[in-house]
Structures are given as structure tokens and as C-alpha cells.
């Protein structure tokens, strides 16, 4: 394996700390959380006390003020053990960064210290029953009423929806203005008019709660708006590269992990008088997946480097997300095949990895959307005008 050069000794020391926390506080209980469909709030408080939430938040808001790689270490170690819950990624990588980049000083002081400690859990409310990747098509409305906005509508597939205390909510403040009519609000979920629907029963990622949310004349102060009125779509676009990079990091990590425990299993399991690993087919399948996994990891690490330097192009982020997601799904499928019937049993990590993998072609923008982004760049100015 090509040596990764991203991390410094302090990052690897942090990795050891994170790994010990996960082994003690998450791994022994994760099976039960998958049955429950949610992780306990106590875990968030423990993670906050351990410094695992929002590592990049500056000290003036209660954080450690560390670099992005400290967050990356937390995510990688969770994915390495197949922890589909908790939803630290949404909380840390998206909600906190929205606040840090676009929040007012009052908003930051109100929410960030509690997010760092795990007292306030963050969620992102964008997807609707009729609007997934097409965020301009959302129907949730926010209408001005004096010093407040009154919000009506619904969201679906919202990670951390059952537990969130703060929600970055995408709304339409001008239904006729298309993308320029989208505005974001920081919603305090204790307010009247905010209602949680059922915890959705998903194919995979079963320990991460995912919800329907409803807004019935929810009144929020104008000071809860994130950015200016009509700036919502523009703000969301600035964070898509980071969201897609996180998906690529996840896939690169799971690819390595799944190949690793498939090598262990096939080296011990016997058939026809020899181990599964003795068959040339097994060797060739895993050699091919490993080689492409290394390429995906190197590409992803380069994108992390670019992101930290403020130079990650949205097209490159889309490409990283696309190739790693597709390889992720191929790896879990081919590796499960090498486990035979046992690979179909939920008690084996490969079964969970297989179920959890399918979302990666959808989350952060579908594969088809990634291809559209890339092809538009490739053919910029060369395609016929649409009628």
C-alpha cells in the first residue's frame, strides 16, 4: 500500500485516541442501536467530552481550533468499524461549517459551544418528497410576518432528524424566483410548529436515525436566517464540494476495510481441500479491487490536500465522489460473493457493509448528477443550446 502522507504525528496520536473511544463506547453497543434505529443522546455527550465533535471550531466558540484532518480521522475510524450511527458527519462537517462560514456572531455564540459538547445536535433539512438533488424545486415556504418568518412544509430523509436541536433548513422565500428564492434558516427545534415524523426504516445505515420533518406555522425570528434572503442556494453550492469529499473519504476507507477482512476470511475458510484464498479467482478479484482502491485513496487524499488549501474544484470533488462511490459498491458486492452464504448473514460485517453501501451513489448528489457536473465542464461552450 502506498504510504499516506497527509497526516502528521499529532493526527496519528489523535487516531489512537479516537480508536480507543470507538472500541469502548460504540462497537459493543452498535448492534442494539441498529435494532433501535437510533443512538442514545448520552453518546453525543461522551463524544463531545472526548473532543470528537466539531474539531475545527475555534476556541472562542468552545472548540479546539484544529485542522480539518482531525475531523477526517474521526470519520475514518467510525467507517472503519462499520458504524452507521451516530451522525457525526452531518453535525460536524456540514451544520457547524455552515454556521462558521455564514453565521452571525450571535448565531455562532448561541449554537457552536453546545454543538462542540454534544448538548445540541445538528441536522440539515434540504431534501423533500418532490425535491432531492434539484434543490431549486423545494416547496417548504417561509413568509415574512413583521419581525418573524412563518414556515410551512415538510422534509424527508433527514439524518439526525429524530434528535436534532438545531436544523439548517432550506425554504422558499420567493416561489417565483427559482434558485434566487431559496433562503436558509437556523431552526431551534424546540419551537412550536416543528414536528418530527416517523424514524424511517432504511435498507442500511440502520443505527443512524433518518426522519420526516413537518413545519406547521413554525414562527422563527428574522435573526435566525443564515445569510441574506435569497442567498440560500448560493450558500448551499459553496459546501457541496466539501460534502462530496466526505463521501469520497468514506468510500475510500470502507473499500480498504472490506478488502482487508475479506483477505482474512478467505485465508481461513476452506473448500475443496484448500482455502478460498488459494483459488486464482480469489487472488485476481482481490488484486484488482486492491489496485483500484489504492488509486481511489490517492485521488481522494489529493482532494483533501486541495480542500485544505482552499483549491478543491467542484468538478474534481464530483469526480472523486463518483469514482469512489461506484468502486465502493463494486467492492462490497464482489467481496460478499467470496464469503458465500455467510456473507448474506447480518452477523458478518460484510452483510452490513453491503447494505450500508448503496446510499453512497445517492448521498451528496446522485451519480447521475456527478456525471452531469463533470460533462458540463468537459464540453463547456461546445454543446448545442437547449431549446
Q: Taking the CB of residue 30, how many other CB atoms lie within 10 A of it?
A: 19
pLDDT band at residue 387, thresholds of 50, 70 and 90?
very low
- How far is it, in rounded angstroms, from Cα 285 to Cα 263? 11
111-161: pLDDT as tens digits: 999 999 999 999 999 999 987 777 778 999 999 999 999 999 999 999 999
The pLDDT of residue 102 is above 50:
yes
Residues serving a catalytic function are: 243
- Cβ-based neighbours of 210, under 8 Å, separated by 6 or more: 157, 158, 159, 161, 199, 200, 202
- How far is it, in rounded angstroms, from Cα 287 to Cα 265? 15
124-230: CATH class: mainly beta
What are the residues facing 123 on neighbouring strands? 167
- How far is it, in rounded angstroms, from Cα 209 to Cα 161? 7
Q: Which of 136, 127, 98, 119 is nearest to 200 (CA)?
A: 127
CATH number assigned to the domain with residue range 234-378, chosen from the 4 options 3.40.50.1820, 3.30.1340.10, 1.20.140.10, 3.40.50.300: 1.20.140.10
- How far is it, in rounded angstroms, from Cα 150 to Cα 192? 11
> Is this structure's pTM higher than 0.85?
yes
Q: What is the pLDDT of residue 233?
A: 93
42-78: pLDDT as tens digits: 999 999 999 999 999 999 999 999 999 999 999 999 9
Cis, bond preceding 296 (omega within 30 deg of 0): no
Rg, the chain, Cα only: 22
- How far is it, in rounded angstroms, from Cα 280 to Cα 277? 8
User: DSSP characters for 124-138?
Assistant: EE--BTTBSS-GGG-
Per-residue pLDDT, averaged over 322-348, amounts to 97
- How far is it, in rounded angstroms, from Cα 336 to Cα 34? 20
Angle at 16 between CA 11 and CA 19, to 5 degrees: 115
**Domain 9-120, CATH homologous superfamily name and number:** Acyl-CoA dehydrogenase/oxidase, N-terminal domain (1.10.540.10)
384-to-73, 194, 220, 372, 379 alpha-carbon distances in Å:
45, 46, 45, 15, 10
Q: What are the boundaries of each domain within the chain?
A: 9-120, 124-230, 234-378
Please give the biggest Cα pair distance in the chain.
79
Amino acid at each position: 500500500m502506498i504510504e499516506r502522507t497527509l497526516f502528521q504525528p499529532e493526527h496519528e496520536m489523535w487516531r489512537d485516541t479516537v480508536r480507543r473511544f470507538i472500541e469502548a463506547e460504540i462497537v459493543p453497543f452498535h448492534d442494539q442501536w441498529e435494532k433501535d434505529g437510533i443512538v442514545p443522546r448520552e453518546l453525543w455527550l461522551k463524544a463531545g467530552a472526548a473532543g470528537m465533535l466539531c474539531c475545527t471550531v475555534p476556541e472562542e466558540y468552545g472548540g479546539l481550533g484544529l485542522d480539518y484532518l482531525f475531523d477526517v480521522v474521526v470519520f475514518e475510524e467510525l467507517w472503519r468499524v462499520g458504524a452507521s450511527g451516530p451522525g457525526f458527519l452531518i453535525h460536524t462537517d456540514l451544520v457547524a461549517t455552515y454556521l462558521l462560514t455564514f453565521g452571525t456572531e450571535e448565531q455562532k455564540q448561541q449554537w457552536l459551544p453546545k454543538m462542540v459538547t454534544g448538548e445540541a445536535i445538528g441536522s440539515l433539512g434540504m431534501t423533500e418528497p418532490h425535491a432531492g438533488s434539484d434543490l431549486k424545486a423545494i416547496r417548504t415556504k417561509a413568509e415574512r410576518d413583521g419581525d418573524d418568518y412563518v414556515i410551512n412544509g415538510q422534509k424527508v430523509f433527514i439524518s439526525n432528524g429524530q434528535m436534532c436541536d438545531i436544523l439548517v433548513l432550506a425554504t422558499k422565500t420567493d416561489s417565483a424566483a427559482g434558485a434566487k428564492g431559496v433562503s436558509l434558516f437556523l431552526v431551534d427545534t424546540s419551537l412550536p410548529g416543528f414536528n418530527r415524523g416517523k424514524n424511517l426504516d432504511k435498507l442500511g445505515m440502520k443505527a443512524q436515525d433518518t426522519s420526516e420533518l413537518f413545519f406547521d406555522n413554525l414562527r422563527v425570528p428574522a435573526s435566525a436566517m443564515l445569510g441574506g434572503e435569497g442567498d440560500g442556494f448560493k450558500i448551499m453550492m459553496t459546501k457541496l464540494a466539501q460534502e462530496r469529499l466526505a463521501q469520497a473519504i468514506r468510500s475510500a476507507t470502507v473499500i480498504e476495510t472490506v478488502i482487508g477482512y475479506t483477505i482474512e476470511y478467505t485465508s481461513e475458510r476452506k473448500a475443496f481441500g484448500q482455502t478460498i484464498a488459494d483459488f486464482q479467482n480469489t487472488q485476481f478479484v482481490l488484486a484488482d479491487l486492491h489496485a483500484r482502491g489504492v488509486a481511489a485513496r490517492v485521488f481522494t487524499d489529493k482532494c483533501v490536500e486541495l480542500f485544505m488549501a482552499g483549491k478543491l474544484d467542484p468538478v474534481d470533488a464530483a469526480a472523486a465522489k463518483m469514482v469512489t462511490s461506484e468502486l465502493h459498491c463494486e467492492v462490497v458486492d464482489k467481496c460478499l460473493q467470496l464469503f458465500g452464504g455467510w456473507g448474506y448473514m447480518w452477523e458478518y460485517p460484510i452483510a452490513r457493509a453491503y447494505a450500508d453501501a448503496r446510499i453512497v451513489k445517492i448521498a451528496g448528489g446522485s451519480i447521475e448528477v456527478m456525471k452531469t457536473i463533470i460533462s458540463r465542464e468537459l464540453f463547456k461552450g461546445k454543446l448545442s443550446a437547449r431549446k
